[in-house]
């Protein structure tokens, strides 16, 4: 059997990372969370006190940091220059400015090269915004996840609660909508369904159900 590459794209909080992680587990594949890479880059820029609107300074900074994804005790963690930053990268503050940083072509160039390198042996499930369109245009299976804005906001609120962060549902809805708008309208690799991607609406599906559906699609390709 061949080890395929599976691209999972979709808007914010559509369930990509949970689905991709469980699917990778089921297949014995590597899971690559590209959003975590953009998040770690954003955290690093913030910490360095760089003006996020200074594109050149941001790009220069991102060229000189090391981001890696490693499994620790069976859980995938995100490292920035060897520091585990997994808990620091999923905050409302990062969500607010990440779309600015990820819109810079120089930033994308650096991270996309790393993502392609990670996928080159196959046997990967990669999630993000531009995986099927730009990062892995030859992926054997491409999935585009969607869900209603209400359901996505509800799921994100639960995620945040688990981290001890309380946020109003309306505010979350606004943040998600704003991020989707920026991610979809940027010039460089915008959030967009690839022509050959299969779309899955997860609004009324459980995580288990959505993983099972994509798993079956994957088996057709293996
Ligand atoms: O998937 P997640 O919500 O963690 O992604 C955070 C942000 O990172 C997105 O809103 C987007 O701005 C950026 N991103 C991107 N391209 C990817 C993955 C994430 O631009 N492949």
Is residue 17 annotated as involved in ligand binding?
A: yes
The rounded distance, in Å, linking the Cα atoms of 98 and 45 is 10
Cβ–ligand 1 distance for 69 under 6 Å, the answer no
Contacts of residue 71, Cβ cutoff 8 Å, sequence gap at least 6: 77
How do residues 66-104 score in pLDDT, each as one tens digit? 999 999 988 899 999 999 999 999 998 999 999 999 999
Residue 192 has pLDDT above 90, yes or no: yes
CA of 99, closest atom in ligand 1:
12
CB of residue 12 inside a 6 A radius of ligand 1: yes
Ligand 1 atom nearest to 17, measured from its CA: 1
> Contact at 8 Å (CB) between 216 and 29?
no
Helix (H, G, I), strand (E, B) or coil at 113: helix
Structure tokens at 156: 């994100």
ipTM of the complex: 0.98
Both tokens assigned to 151? 């359901």
Residue-wise pLDDT for 160-174, tens only, equals 999 899 999 999 999
Task: Give the torsion through C-alpha atoms of 158, 164, 168, 173, to 10 deg.
Answer: -50
Q: Is 112 in the pocket of ligand 1 (CB under 6 A)?
A: no
Angle between helices 55-63 and 34-47 (to 10 degrees): 110
- The pLDDT of residue 169 is 97
- Decide: 90 in ligand 1 pocket, CB within 6 A: no
**Rounded to the nearest 5°, which phi and psi values hold at 80?**
-120, 115
Which 3 state secondary structure label does DSSP give 15?
A: coil
What mean pLDDT do residues 168-187 have? 96
The residue whose CA has the least distance to atom 8 of ligand 1 is 35
pLDDT for 19 equals: 96
Cβ atoms of residues 8 and 131 within 8 Å: yes
If we measure between CA atoms, which residue out of 157, 141, 137, 161 comes closest to residue 149?
157
Q: What is the pLDDT of residues 10-34, one digit of tens each?
A: 999 999 999 999 999 999 999 999 9
Q: What band does 47 get if pLDDT is binned at 50, 70 and 90?
A: very high
The dihedrals phi and psi of 141, each to the nearest 5 degrees, come to -135, 130
* Mean pLDDT (the chain, rounded): 96
Question: How do beta strands 67-72 and 75-80 pair?
Answer: antiparallel
- Decide if pLDDT at 1 tops 80: no
Contact assessment for residue 9 and residue 49, using Cβ atoms and an 8 Å cutoff: no
Ligand 1 neighbourhood includes 179 CB (under 6 angstroms): yes
Residue 189 beta carbon below 6 angstroms from any ligand 1 atom = no
The closest of 5, 77, 79, 2 to 43, measured between CA atoms, is 79
Q: Is pLDDT at 193 greater than 80 in this prediction?
A: yes
**Which residues have CB under 8 Å from 220's CB, separation 6+?**
none
User: Has residue 183 got a pLDDT over 80?
Assistant: yes
Measured in Å, residue 12 CA sits from the centre of ligand 1 at 8
Site to probe by mutation for ligand 1, drawn from 106, 108, 129, 133 as the one with most ligand atoms within 8 Å of Cβ, is: 129
Q: Give, for ligand 1, the residue of 7, 31, 102, 152 to mutate: max count of ligand atoms closer than 8 Å to Cβ.
A: 102
């Amino acid at each position: 059997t061949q080890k395929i590459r599976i691209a999972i794209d979709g808007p914010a909080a559509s369930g990509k990372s949970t689905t991709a992680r469980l699917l990778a587990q089921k297949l014995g594949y590597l899971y690559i969370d590209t959003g975590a890479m953009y998040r770690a880059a954003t955290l690093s820029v913030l910490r360095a006190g760089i003006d996020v609107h200074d594109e050149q300074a941001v790009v220069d900074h991102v060229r000189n940091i090391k981001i890696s994804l490693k499994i620790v005790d069976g859980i995938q963690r995100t490292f920035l220059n060897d520091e585990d930053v997994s808990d620091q990268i999923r905050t409302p503050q990062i969500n607010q400015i990440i779309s600015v940083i990820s819109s810079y072509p120089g930033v994308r160039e650096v991270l996309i090269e790393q993502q392609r390198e990670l996928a080159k042996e196959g046997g990967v499930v990669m999630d993000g915004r531009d995986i099927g369109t730009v990062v892995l245009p030859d992926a054997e299976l491409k999935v585009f996840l969607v869900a209603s804005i209400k359901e996505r906001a509800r799921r994100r609120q639960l995620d945040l609660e688990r981290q001890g962060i309380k946020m109003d549902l309306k505010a979350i809805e606004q943040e998600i909508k704003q991020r989707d708008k920026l991610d979809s309208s940027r010039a460089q690799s915008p959030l967009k369904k690839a022509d050959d991607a299969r779309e899955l609406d997860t609004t009324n599906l459980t995580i288990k159900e959505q993983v099972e559906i994509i798993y079956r699609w994957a088996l057709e390709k293996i």
